[in-house]
Amino acid sequence: MIYLIFILILNFSCAEKKSTEKAINQPELVTTSKTDTLKFTSGIRAIFQDSKGNYWFGSHNEGVSFYNGKSFEYFTVNEGLSDNQIRSIQEDKNGKIWFGTARGVSVYDKGKFTNYPYMNNNPLFDWNKTNGDLWFNAGAEDGINRFDGINMNYLIFPKPQNKNADTADNTFGVTGISKDKDGKVWIATYAALFSYDGKMLNIFDKGKLNLKDNERLHIRSVLADSKGRIWIGNNGIGVLLMEGTSTINFSEKHHLIHPTSKRNGNKSEPGTLEHPFAIEEDSEGNIWFGDLYTGAWKYDGKTLTNYSISEKLSNPMIWTIYKDNKNNLLFGIADGNIFKFNGKTFEKQF
């Protein structure tokens, strides 16, 4: 009898262990909550529409929201994200969704997250030893992450040797990534702009970008457009435009820097374009800029038009501009709202 009881207890214990292991390995996540409207309040830093038409929204410090056309689901560090600050979102050829966060890279696949720290014990200085189309802004201050299909590589930026390079108060943390029509990758960091064609890595520092003595680099965005031009958003001195070997201050050329501006990131006056945090090209080839203080700007190749998103915004800063699968232009705002441009005005979405 005692032997029988022992066997029953042993079987129950084994069954309980197997059940516990199954729960631990269960890939399906239970999201934090579901809502009918987007509930972020810390700001929208990233917008992405996947190949199935679903939207993903990355917040400043509240994680990710997934929208399937009916409801919003939320994922945070509690569900497996590396960090709640989301800086970029993209999809790979296998349908996996990748997030660049403030503390590494997270990938969402089949209901679960896998995380990669932004740094590893074997950083690479030779960029040519890696490959892969997935690049990440993931919180590092001196390099960038690149996934080769198997491993997450951490590539170190070479530092400018120019004595005029503006690196004293800046890091080489990545703020923007854009690929041009020839496949070259353009990487914006606070202290310099980098381009990489698969063989050669070029550095564009304060001297190469023709900045004045009283101007400092603090790059927040970059766009390689369909015409081969490179647009650089710099916090404090406006938009820089590279065409071939020539670089000009686009904001200054169009008289969009206030005469009394200290060009150091201080709050700017209305009607100026001194703090472009977001740049995007629409389906008609117009270039859009999202400013920290002065709303949205559209450049049609000849004229610039300034738009106020909404007078009711608690914080008008535009974190991101995104063109979705139907060529809608979506604007992510620092107060947590998202607006769509309808051709004339802005409509609140989601």
- How confident is the model at residue 307, as a pLDDT? 96
Question: pLDDT by residue (tens digit) across 168-194?
Answer: 556 899 999 999 999 999 999 999 999
Q: Are residues 146 and 245 in the same domain?
A: no
Which residue type does 257 have?
A: I
Question: pLDDT by residue (tens digit) across 15-32?
Answer: 333 322 222 222 344 455
- Average pLDDT score over the chain: 88
Q: Which residues of 266-302 are buried (b: 16+ CB within 10 A; e: fewer)?
A: eebeeebbbbbbbbbbbeeeebbbbbbebbbbbbeee
- Domain with residue 200: its CATH number is 2.130.10.10
Q: Are residues 140 and 174 in the same domain?
A: no
Whether pTM > 0.85 for this model: the answer is yes
Question: pLDDT by residue (tens digit) across 209-226?
Answer: 999 988 889 999 999 999
Q: Which domain holds residue 91?
A: 32-156
Residue 345 lies in a domain: no
Helical residues (DSSP H) of the chain, grouped into ranges: 2-25, 250-253
Q: Are residues 140 and 167 in the same domain?
A: no
How many Å apart are CA 187 and CA 177, to the nearest integer?
5
How many Å apart are CA 177 and CA 140, to the nearest integer?
14
* Structural domains counted in the chain: 2
How many Å apart are CA 87 and CA 256, to the nearest integer?
28
- How confident is the model at residue 35, as a pLDDT? 79
- The half-sphere exposure of 239 on its side-chain side, counting CA atoms within 13 A, is 29
Q: Which residues of 160-175 are buried (b: 16+ CB within 10 A; e: fewer)?
A: beeeebbbeebebbbb
Say if residue 40's pLDDT is above 60.
yes
% helix / strand / coil in the chain, to the nearest 5? 10, 40, 50
Q: Which residues pair with 239 in a beta bridge?
A: 233
Q: Which residue has the tokens 């892969």?
A: 132
Say if residue 5's pLDDT is above 70.
no
Q: Are residues 133 and 251 in the same domain?
A: no
